[in-house]
Amino acid sequence: MTHHQLTDEAKPPDAPARQQNLRFSSTRRGARLARQLAVQQFTEWTGLPYDSDPARTVALVTAELASNAVRHGSLPGRDFRLTLILLPDRFRMEVTDTRPERLPPPVTLQPADETSGRGLLIVQSYADCWGRTVHDAYTKTVWAEVRLRTTVS
What does the pLDDT look like over 15-24, one tens digit per residue? 668 999 999 9
**pLDDT value of position 93:** 97
In the predicted structure, residue 4 carries a pLDDT above the cut 50: no
Q: When comparing pLDDT for 78 and 58, which is higher? A: 58
**Rounded distance, CA 127 to CA 145, Å?**
6
Is residue 38 included in any domain, yes or no?
yes
| pLDDT score of 112 | 46
CATH code of the domain containing 92: 3.30.565.10
Say if residues 144 and 92 touch (Cβ distance below 8 Å). Answer: yes
Is 85 a member of any domain?
yes
- Looking at per-residue pLDDT, the higher value among 16 and 37 belongs to 37
Give the global pTM: 0.78
* Structural domain total, the chain: 1
Tell whether the torsion through CA atoms of 22, 33, 87 and 64 is positive or negative: positive
Q: What residues make up the domain containing 116?
A: 14-147
Q: Is 3 contained in some domain?
A: no
> Is 55 among the domain residues?
yes
Residue 9 lies in a domain: no
| Residue 75 confidence (pLDDT) above 80 | no
Mean pLDDT for the stretch of residues 117-137: 85
Instruction: State which H helix or E strand residue 132 sits in.
Output: strand 129-133
Better-predicted residue by pLDDT, 117 or 71: 71
Q: Does residue 68 fall inside a structural domain?
A: yes
